[in-house]
Amino acid sequence: MAIDFIELSAELRLWLLLFRNDLMQQPWQLFIIAWISVFVVSGFLIRPISLIGKSIEYKRPPISSMITASILLCLITGFLNTLIPDFLIVWLWIFLLPFILSLLTGFFYLLINKNSKILRNSIALFTANFYIEADKSFLQGTLRALIRLIWEQPQTLIGHGIGQILNCTGFVSSVALSDGIAILTGNIPLANGVALGSYILVTSRYSGTDTHIDLSERNSYLMALIRHELGHTFQSRRSGPLYLFKYGIPSAMSQGWTEKDAEFRSDRYLLINYGLPPIFSSYQKDYSPVGANTAAYLLMLATMIWGAVWGATAGLFGAYLFIAGFIALFNLGKIHSKIL
């Protein structure tokens, strides 16, 4: 069957015309006001700490980074809402519902028990999504916001949701924000620790404290646990949407190369930025961190585009889960896949 390129070109021009019209009809003022509001409010509420236990002077994040990130996110929001509006609605519900439940629980807990812990934790978990470090340059701050809210999805979305749900039920003792990361400690019922995007959840049941963080303490089980999970957050920053399947599932199932890679990344970061000597036996100066291959990104992108064209939002999710599971299978061994 011959392809009628003239008819195909006419249909494409019509689609572009309709798309441009729909794009112009988006509630741009609402989008920009919403994004700027959450960044500015979060910038006033966040009180970061030092990973090595030192007191730090509070400084507000650069307003230029917050405004620029808000504008870029506004454009991305409008574009996605034009192409796949159902996807944006699902994301918004998954993002807001756990926060609202945690916030309301915190209010009731405060009224009944005169304790603001759950309320404070819920706000800290929410604002962590918009956390820009004050010491970052304009470009670094803008990129950090975009990486967390766009590149590190869906793991950061999942980390925020799980954190809020655990906070509702009283499992979270404290939330500390540092280096662009939210560290949740308490009686966490998720193994000993887990890293989901910019959120680290660690149990303090084997430690005498759950509110003090000082990664320079070499003999503390809790600090070693946080250091390990810190490495997984750097894997997330590096691999983005492939994190759960390149590192996350293999880490949970095989305990192989993913752990050595995470420990190296953590030790290297803390050595360079804080001068802390390595504590993990896997640290080697000549070790090369393992990244996701370009083929994996291209395969995922092509599959998701095909899924979106074939089945809209449902097809997009289905294609994502299918290809993600396929990529995970390639990385379940003790040695990482050099293909995907």
**What single-letter DSSP state applies at residue 185?**
E
- Tokens 């509006």 locate to 85
- Tokens 């999504």 locate to 129
**Is the predicted pLDDT of residue 57 greater than 70, yes or no?**
no
pLDDT tens digits for range 24-46: 888 999 999 999 999 999 988 88
**Is the predicted pLDDT of residue 280 greater than 70, yes or no?**
yes
Which residues sit opposite 178 in a β-bridge? 181
Query: Rounded to 5 degrees, what angle do the CA atoms 43, 47, 49 make?
Result: 135
90-94, 111-115, 183-187, 213-217: least confident range: 213-217
d(CA 58, CA 46): 9
The token pair at 317 is 């999710």
Sheet bearing 181-186, strands edge to edge: 172-178, 181-186, 199-203, 193-196
Residue 162, CA atoms < 13 Å, CB-side half-sphere: 22
Share of the chain above pLDDT 90, in %: 36
Strand spans (E) along the chain: 172-178, 181-186, 193-196, 199-203
Q: How far is CA 221 from CA 107, 210, 212, 218, in A?
A: 33, 11, 13, 8
Query: Which residues lie below 8 Å from residue 113, measured CB to CB, with a gap of 6+?
Result: none
pLDDT tens digits for range 308-339: 777 777 787 888 888 888 888 877 765 665 66
Share of the chain above pLDDT 70, in %: 90
Q: Mean pLDDT across the stretch 282-291?
A: 74
pLDDT score recorded for residue 340: 64
- C-alpha gyration radius of the chain: 22
d(CA 158, CA 143): 21
CB burial readout 262-289, b (16+ within 10 A) else e: bbbbbbbbbeeeeebebbbeebeeeeee
Q: Mean pLDDT across the stretch 107-129?
A: 94
Query: Which residues lie below 8 Å from residue 170, measured CB to CB, with a gap of 6+?
Result: 118
pLDDT tens digits for range 195-208: 999 999 998 765 55
Q: How far is CA 130 from CA 8, 145, 185, 249, 259, in A?
A: 43, 6, 20, 27, 28
pLDDT score recorded for residue 304: 84
- Phi then psi for residue 116, to 5 deg, are -100, 10
pLDDT tens digits for range 222-266: 888 899 999 999 999 999 988 988 888 888 776 678 888 899 999
Strand spans (E) along 150-253: 172-178, 181-186, 193-196, 199-203
- Tokens 């995470």 locate to 262
Residue type, 44: F
Contact of 213 with 49, CB cutoff 8 Å: yes
Q: Please give the mean pLDDT across all residues of the chain.
A: 85
pLDDT score recorded for residue 3: 56
